[in-house]
Structure 1
């Protein structure tokens, strides 16, 4: 599908603003709308001379949609929004930033999707390609949308974090390497159903060009049932796979040893899986095996992803605030023997009972936020559960009371942050500060 001559951009957050700017710069007449326009969105609309509709009613929206050739919903506009229904009824296609990038730029794309691990794996892949002498630029579900990143004339390859929000609104994405990490229920507050979420992820492999490589998690049955007819390079630790662990060594599909598990910068179970996925992806995209080994040794993880905050009286404290789905919480807990789990927040329409799988490793649970009651019900028959609704400082204090030497206290909420905090970053930072304050005050008490 070619670029439209007139388009509606709905939502002027980071990606919507980038799309509106790019369309306008390419001579497309743009109309914009936003349910809650920000100052940044209003300023951009004024700068571009774009009409901005503030929370249009259905009749107004229908008249606008009927007069455009394509609709660009910002990532996160839910499937239940009237925009989706009206666009379908008017026969106007939805498009996304990946469509524009495909039309305007022919440089290779390495795309990564999955419920968990996208940011970590794309970061590792970009580092591996950079260490191999390519100029790799991170884009997509990051601070830089792909449609903005392609303005960088010096980039050799774009490593794209492809969220379901972006894939679901895309007509066609044509990556040279396309990696699907895993699948678990998520974002049911945005997608119409679990099936719709799965279908959005599967679009990653729908239009692979000749010579492209699909990379698939052999351990995930949902991922494997979508493998393209041409097959895929696989990675995994439980099922037979190309990139695998043999003995204590990470091995490529050709049988080359990457390094020993103990040589990884971090070697929790999910770190091993991410290392295999990143290696398979980067090598398919042209990285050298020496560069892959270098990054695997040096990579220490990203903030708020099972990040060690500190240790006090034999108890280690970890921040895994990025874990906003039960699947991620279970994966984090599996890396430790005895855990005081901090979980809860705002449920994204998910079944939290999936977290029960972590039960055997738990000493206790501190349930917080809007979903505290749901969390309590999940673990009530497994271990002691304490509900806290008075802030993160009290959450940390109760966790400290429950922990014993040798335990790990793990913030891995399984829920979104938007009840108490503006983002998972903010939640993680608040947790880390509360831990430091608590440890500092207790150290002072000991010195007295």
Structure 2
């Protein structure tokens, strides 16, 4: 049981005493800098210290513990006022048990940001779609004339974003790591998009992962609005008290999909938003994201015309069901951001017939769940560390090949596909076996597709001339 922490001036001044920061990734660095900017002593523990980490510690004035023993870490934590683990530090890390043993609270960057800054927050969580909806809501607020900034589980942690005094409102992408370790988090609007198994490489159980997501609604003030996906049973069963706005593509809700005279339409709070045909993206998950974004922005007070203008223009983000190219009637789609089976199922549902490229570093999940939409999957190419798990999951269902590189995967998938079908990179796993991140994996897929198509065209041209 973690030690309770009261947000108080103890972390508002140099009198606070040291804070132990676990890990110096993007968020850990931002937390360390933010604490030092407020003259608060910092001890950083980094299990894989590099020259870059050492340079940062020297520049900012942080005491760096490199690959500390449990005894060294225990001494540091026992003398600290709080411990701030970086996102992704697993539940099994000794810092949590050591903090409990010394009655030192474990907190999140969200706790620090709310201690130091009181501007409004809109928060979005979910297994899939967080970044997309966060981006859409930020654009909607900007279209409404508000100085909005996206932060959190993005390139800019919230403790860094609050340094800009010009920002009116922060749209926070809230990961389970940050939510689960926050002692108190009270956004003005709190949106939970969906839930699916994920992050068992960090959370001890799926129940803990669900509880971490549900923290987004745990401390809402009386004037806050919770935005809830009625189509997701896990989200729906965590429905909070207070004001709740719902969205759904399958049933009546505050923001819903309706059948109009000329086709399906999106509606919000009893009024038509726009026809689905007016959206730049119209795949099934795009409709749910659009409704969630509209509800979130309007719950904060964004004007309807600004919301609709973004719904019409938003064309999606890279590596999220991103169409790369078409050749010979085969469409190649990059969904590298899909790092869990739940996300793969959402992508596969968007197409009639798919040759799926899947695999990577498993996040502790059951990869048999990749077969949830097998009726639309014609063949599978397995990649990465989990290739054997992917192969086993599909072995008795569809043809499976194992590839040794992305070029090999694209070639094998293209050879299996026929005109009218889709080659879909939707790995259902993390990228860290072959790549630095999912973006690098997606970029390599785009390169491999581009080069494969160029080679095919050259071969076809040579054949035509012979």
Which residue of structure 2 lines up, in the alignment, with residue 366 of structure 1?
381
Q: Matched residues in 2 for 1:103 and 1:231: separation?
A: 25
Which residue of structure 1 lines up, in the alignment, with residue 450 of structure 2?
436
Which residue of structure 2 lines up, in the alignment, with residue 447 of structure 1?
461
Q: Matched residues in 2 for 1:9 and 1:336: separation?
A: 44
SS of aligned partner of 1:281: helix
SS of aligned partner of 1:232: strand
Residue from 20, 45, 56 that aligns with 1:8:
20
- C-alpha contact (below 8 Å) 2:245/2:295 kept by paired residues: yes
Cα shift readout 1:262-303 (whole Å, capped 9, x = no counterpart):
111100000011001101001111211111111111111100
- How do residues 154-193 of structure 1 correspond to structure 2 at under 5 angstroms? 154-193=166-205
- After TM superposition, the score normalised by the length of structure 1 is 0.98
Which residue of structure 2 lines up, in the alignment, with residue 292 of structure 1?
307
Which residue of structure 1 lines up, in the alignment, with residue 49 of structure 2?
37
- After TM superposition, the score normalised by the length of structure 2 is 0.94
Residue from 90, 94, 97 that aligns with 1:85:
97
Mean alpha-carbon deviation: is it higher for 372-381 or for 170-179?
Answer: 372-381
Residue from 267, 272, 277 that aligns with 1:251:
267
SS of aligned partner of 1:112: strand
Query: Where does the alignment leave 5 or more consecutive residues of structure 2 unmatched?
Result: 1-5
Runs of 4+ that moved beyond 6 A:
none
Residue from 340, 348, 351 that aligns with 1:336:
351
Cα shift readout 1:389-448 (whole Å, capped 9, x = no counterpart):
x20001000011100000011000111111111111011000100000000011111111
Q: Matched residues in 2 for 1:299 and 1:191: separation?
A: 33
Which residue of structure 2 lines up, in the alignment, with residue 101 of structure 1?
113
Q: Matched residues in 2 for 1:27 and 1:208: separation?
A: 31
Q: Matched residues in 1 for 2:233 and 2:35: separation?
A: 39
Q: How far apart are 1:50 and its partner, in Å? A: 1.9
Which residue of structure 2 lines up, in the alignment, with residue 65 of structure 1?
77
Q: Matched residues in 1 for 2:167 and 2:375: separation?
A: 48
Mean alpha-carbon deviation: is it higher for 230-239 or for 268-277?
Answer: 230-239
Which residue of structure 1 lines up, in the alignment, with residue 125 of structure 2?
113
- How do residues 312-331 of structure 1 correspond to structure 2 at under 5 angstroms? 312-331=327-346
- What RMSD in Å do the two structures reach over aligned CA positions? 1.0
- C-alpha contact (below 8 Å) 2:197/2:340 kept by paired residues: yes
Q: Matched residues in 2 for 1:43 and 1:209: separation?
A: 42
Q: Matched residues in 1 for 2:52 and 2:34: separation?
A: 16
SS of aligned partner of 1:22: helix
- How do residues 196-345 of structure 1 correspond to structure 2 at under 5 angstroms? 196-247=208-259, 248-252=264-268, 254-345=269-360
Count of paired positions: 446
Q: Matched residues in 1 for 2:60 and 2:316: separation?
A: 40
Q: Matched residues in 2 for 1:38 and 1:202: separation?
A: 36
Mean alpha-carbon deviation: is it higher for 175-184 or for 361-370?
Answer: 361-370
Q: Matched residues in 2 for 1:372 and 1:86: separation?
A: 37
SS of aligned partner of 2:83: strand
- C-alpha contact (below 8 Å) 2:45/2:68 kept by paired residues: yes
1:400 aligns with 2:400: no
- C-alpha contact (below 8 Å) 2:21/2:83 kept by paired residues: yes
Which residue of structure 1 lines up, in the alignment, with residue 87 of structure 2?
75
Q: How far apart are 1:44 and its partner, in Å? A: 2.2
Cα shift readout 1:96-143 (whole Å, capped 9, x = no counterpart):
111111111111000000100000000000000000000110100111
- C-alpha contact (below 8 Å) 2:250/2:257 kept by paired residues: no
Which residue of structure 1 lines up, in the alignment, with residue 432 of structure 2?
418
Query: Where does the alignment leave 5 or more consecutive residues of structure 1 unmatched?
Result: none
- C-alpha contact (below 8 Å) 2:20/2:77 kept by paired residues: yes
Q: Matched residues in 2 for 1:76 and 1:357: separation?
A: 27
